[in-house]
Structure 1
Amino acid sequence: MKKILEAIKEISPFRFFMLTVAGAVNAFGITLFLMPVKLYDSGISGTSMLLAQVTPEALSLSVFLIVLNIPLFLYGLKKQGLSFTVSAIYTVAVYSMMSWLITDVLPIDVSIASPLAGTDLLLCALFGGVISGVGSGLAIRFGGAMDGMEVMAVIFAKRLGLSVGTFVMVYNVILYIICGAVIHSWILPLYSIVTYGAALKTVDYIVDGLQREKAAMIITACPDKIKKELMAQFGCGMTLIKAVGGYSGEERTVLYFVVNRFQVMKMKDIVQKIDPLAYITLTEVADIFSVNQDKT
């Protein structure tokens, strides 16, 4: 109990607030767009939706979210850490509570159609996926999770020779096949794949940002001139790495430099003007931060 209290104290009020928002947003997308037209979310959330449909009414989505997710988070406690586990359980609890409020307490009819998109399956799939993706993305960005399947993927994917993304995808494909077999129709599971795709892309945007930076590695024989010009033009620093040409055996310098996508062409022009023989590689940078920055 003492360790749990210490883990809770490590989580800032702002982080708790954002995890609360994440759970509420996810519940909004699921209950107002997916559940009314019987589309399925991915992972444990989708499994909970299927079980809620085929079991007595007392066993609602909120119940299955708690029953299925919490054991998975606790199972992953050793690998993920107590702070993450507390954050994830809290987020799922908010998601579960808000789902219950929307479906059973608030005067909103979600029994046969979406209050906002009606029975249009494509609109429900897209908006439900995007909105639930925002919730899941916020949960991940602020140190929690919305679905215990992601934790299982981290633990078991490598043992099975799969990537985390592939593990989750395989689970979801199996889930949608089971859904189709249970309801004797493939239309809703197929639309659910649209939901999954929209949610997956939205999570990427929320976690990594709408505009990814570019990391340039510039291999040149004129490092000082290029460094001086790039720093003068862009007003930021860079890292210099000594290197040796594998073919020529001559000494070279690698300049590691981060720019945004609007600065790439200008950077290329500067480098090629100073050293036409320079070699440039570009890679996407998902996030940039200092190890000394304040933790949220």
Structure 2
Amino acid sequence: MKNTLCSWLNILIGCIIVAAGFVFFINPYNIVPGGAYGASIVLHNLFPSIQVGTFGYMFDIPLLVLSVVLLGTKLGARTIAAALTTPLLMNMMSKMAYPTEEALHALDPSQLIGGTMNLSDHLMLACVMGATLIGIGTGIVVRNQATTGGSDIVGMLLQKYCHIRFSKAILLVDGAVVCFGLLVIGFGIGSAEDSTQPSWHLSFYSLIAIFIISRVIAYMINGSKNDKLIFVISDKQMTALHSYILKDLDRTATCIKSSGLYTGKEKEMIFLVVSYKEVAGVKHTIKAADPKAFVVVTDAYDTFGEGWKQLPSPNEIDPE
């Protein structure tokens, strides 16, 4: 029960972070970071009286239904809750952040929280901060077995019916949304006469935001992926290394029977995965046990098993 409650609380926190990223750093500056909410930002420019979160509902609810009908996806309560909570939080935050209905409809950054959050002259900062928050929030949601829906479902549809890889499908969807934003928003940030900052610059900010979001989500789910794979081959039986791995590192390893190709002499080969912080200690122990040992250290892209990550389920979306 405690784990379940913590998971639901984490999903709520993730949704709050995503909504804050959009409301305070993305929506006011017409940065379009792809996906359903990116399309919602574009549509808000056409229909200012309808908030971005409301357009989010218009995308999320039909897509959730489509995923059940066309993909046969069994939507969990967590996914439904995350997909419906995020737009609600976005609308609530927007109403609290702007003093008047006119400012809310215009998403005027000069009036955002009394003008204290106006980053009109620092669009790169707004882009990076917003994308980072969205990535962190989405990563938290996904790590708790949920998804915010949107372009993920479109990507799965394209994968199934058009035989396009999921990652490429997401890229196509986001690219189409960015192009849609470029067509709708026009040639000036808030004003066609603003030649110092033409709106096609916003497309570059949008692409930067898409990249940052994808990298942050991957980091939140998979970590920094800096585990190291170590092979140790020695003529000796390195009991000191065995003890160090089992007692000091509190890990295990695999001993593989091997022999030298030239000499035919039996050797001991140890297969070991450690974090990058533990590599130095392993090297020092190997040198003390056998200075002539042959050692290979390389990157372990992904590590699954006891003490590491769990293997993904067949329906789990890989952020890479």
TM-score scaled by length of structure 2: 0.73
* Contact in 1 for aligned 2:53/2:88 (Cα 8 Å): yes
In the other structure, the counterpart of 2:59 is 68
Distance 1:290 1:28 in 2: 31
Distance 1:158 1:250 in 2: 53
**What amino acid is aligned across from residue 219 of structure 2 in structure 1?**
Y
Distance 1:200 1:123 in 2: 18
In the other structure, the counterpart of 1:21 is 13
In the other structure, the counterpart of 2:153 is 151
In the other structure, the counterpart of 2:244 is 230
In the alignment, structure 1 residue 88 sits paired with structure 2 residue 79: yes
- Classify the secondary structure of the residue corresponding to 1:193: helix
Return closer, same or farther for 1:121/1:152 CA change in 2, 3 Å cut-off: same
In the alignment, structure 1 residue 283 sits paired with structure 2 residue 279: no
Map 1:80-159 onto structure 2 (within 5 A): 80-83=73-76, 86-104=77-95, 107-108=98-99, 111-113=107-109, 115=112, 116-119=117-120, 120-154=122-156, 156-157=158-159
Return closer, same or farther for 1:238/1:23 CA change in 2, 3 Å cut-off: same
Aligned-residue offset at 1:285: 4.0
Map 1:29-40 onto structure 2 (within 5 A): 29-40=21-32
Distance 1:194 1:88 in 2: 27
Aligned-residue offset at 1:90: 0.8
* Contact in 2 for aligned 1:238/1:257 (Cα 8 Å): yes
In the alignment, structure 1 residue 220 sits paired with structure 2 residue 233: yes
* Contact in 2 for aligned 1:238/1:256 (Cα 8 Å): no
Return closer, same or farther for 1:178/1:165 CA change in 2, 3 Å cut-off: same
Return closer, same or farther for 1:186/1:277 CA change in 2, 3 Å cut-off: same
The answer to which of 213-222 and 175-184 deviates more is: 213-222
Distance 1:126 1:149 in 2: 21
Write out per-residue CA displacement over residues 84-125 of structure 1, whole angstroms, 9 at most, x where no aligned residue. xx2122112111111111223555555221631431311211
- Classify the secondary structure of the residue corresponding to 2:227: strand
Aligned-residue offset at 1:252: 6.1
Name which one, 1 or 2, has greater alpha-carbon Rg: 2
**What amino acid is aligned across from residue 218 of structure 1 in structure 2?**
F
In the other structure, the counterpart of 2:195 is none
Distance 2:227 2:65 in 1: 38
* Contact in 2 for aligned 1:231/1:237 (Cα 8 Å): yes
Residue identity over aligned pairs, in percent, reads 15
Return closer, same or farther for 1:190/1:256 CA change in 2, 3 Å cut-off: same
Distance 1:46 1:172 in 2: 8
In the other structure, the counterpart of 2:37 is 45
Distance 1:128 1:139 in 2: 17
* Contact in 1 for aligned 2:245/2:253 (Cα 8 Å): no
- Classify the secondary structure of the residue corresponding to 1:242: strand
Distance 1:141 1:231 in 2: 30
- Classify the secondary structure of the residue corresponding to 2:294: coil
- Classify the secondary structure of the residue corresponding to 1:57: coil
Decide which of 275, 295, 309 is 1:260's aligned counterpart.
Answer: 275
In the other structure, the counterpart of 1:3 is none
Return closer, same or farther for 1:241/1:74 CA change in 2, 3 Å cut-off: farther
- Classify the secondary structure of the residue corresponding to 1:218: strand
Aligned-residue offset at 1:175: 1.8
Return closer, same or farther for 1:47/1:101 CA change in 2, 3 Å cut-off: same
**What amino acid is aligned across from residue 127 of structure 1 in structure 2?**
M
Tell me the matched-pair count: 279
Aligned-residue offset at 1:212: 4.2
Write out per-residue CA displacement over residues 185-207 of structure 1, whole angstroms, 9 at most, x where no aligned residue. 31212111122222222222322
In the alignment, structure 1 residue 169 sits paired with structure 2 residue 171: yes
TM-score scaled by length of structure 1: 0.78
* Contact in 1 for aligned 2:154/2:173 (Cα 8 Å): no
Aligned-residue offset at 1:246: 10
Decide which of 199, 202, 205 is 1:191's aligned counterpart.
Answer: 205
